[in-house]
Chains A and B, each alone.
Chain A
Amino acid sequence: DAKTTQPTSMDCAEGRAANLPCNHSTISGNEYVYWYRQIHSQGPQYIIHGLKNNETNEMASLIITEDRKSSTLILPHATLRDTAVYYCIVRVEDDKIIFGKGTRLHILP
């Protein structure tokens, strides 16, 4: 079973920041937080991952709480192309990925 809890769906206005929450209260000290997204009719795409510190790349930022029990993926300026299902996953390095149902993000024009 997936070790994360995410809202089923969210809306965000185009151009605004999309903040996607994820709860992982049973995360272990050696488990990373990963985010993938899946655009309709495509395979999942890696976005970002982190262990303890906040991370940023060209796609998004990942904010992990100090107790590591939750995290937030931030898309700073959402576009229509960011409409997708976003999966939050916790895993030990090199371990298999267990996907939950994710959050369906709708970007509204």
Chain B
Amino acid sequence: EAGVAQSPRYKIIEKRQSVAFWCNPISGHATLYWYQQILGQGPKLLIQFQNNGVVDDSQLPKDRFSAERLKGVDSTLKIQPAKLEDSAVYLCASTDRGAFEQYFGPGTRLTVT
């Protein structure tokens, strides 16, 4: 079974630029999550999708972050414009309906200079 795929693995941008991350969840998984992990901390949930609808985006900084999940499969997370404090690893995870376990991708490490 293929795991959660993310790209790119690494990205370096200057502040005020924009950036986008892509996630392909495990086939058939209805729920998709985006997390932000700042160095030394545990991952923090940014947004949760159920199919192509948003379930929870209470922690998403909506003035600069946006996410979509077209057709209930792949998802993109965008930051525009980026700030220095956005430097972090962005993790995507997915889970099957009714399952306990979330499967995480390898993450995208973003550095904002």
Contact = CB atoms under 8 A, between A and B. Distances in A.
Chains A and B belong together in one complex: yes
Interface of A: 2, 32, 34, 41-46, 49, 85, 87, 93-94, 96-102
Contact of B42 (A43, A87, A93): A87
B17 to A, nearest CB: 24
Given A2-B42, A32-B100, A101-B41, A43 B91 contact: yes
Given A43-B106, A43-B107, A99 B100 contact: no
Contact of A49 (B100, B106, B107): B100
Contact of A99 (B43, B48, B56, B106): B43
Contacts of A32: 100
B26 interface: no
9 pairs of A and B residues whose beta carbons are closest in the complex:
A43-B104, A99-B42, A46-B101, A99-B43, A44-B104, A43-B91, A96-B45, A43-B105, A49-B100
Majority secondary structure, A binding face: loop
Interface in B13-45: 33, 40-45
A96 B42 contact: no
B38 to A, nearest CB: 11
13 contacts: A41-B106, A43-B105, A44-B43, A44-B93, A45-B104, A46-B100, A46-B102, A87-B42, A96-B33, A98-B45, A100-B42, A101-B41, A102-B42
B4 interface: yes
Interface residues of B, number: 21
Nearest to B44: A99
Contacts of A98: 45
B42 A42 contact: no
B32 to A, nearest CB: 13
A24 B48 CA distance: 25
A46 B99 CA distance: 12
A27 B73 CA distance: 34
A10 B106 CA distance: 25
A101 B42 CA distance: 5
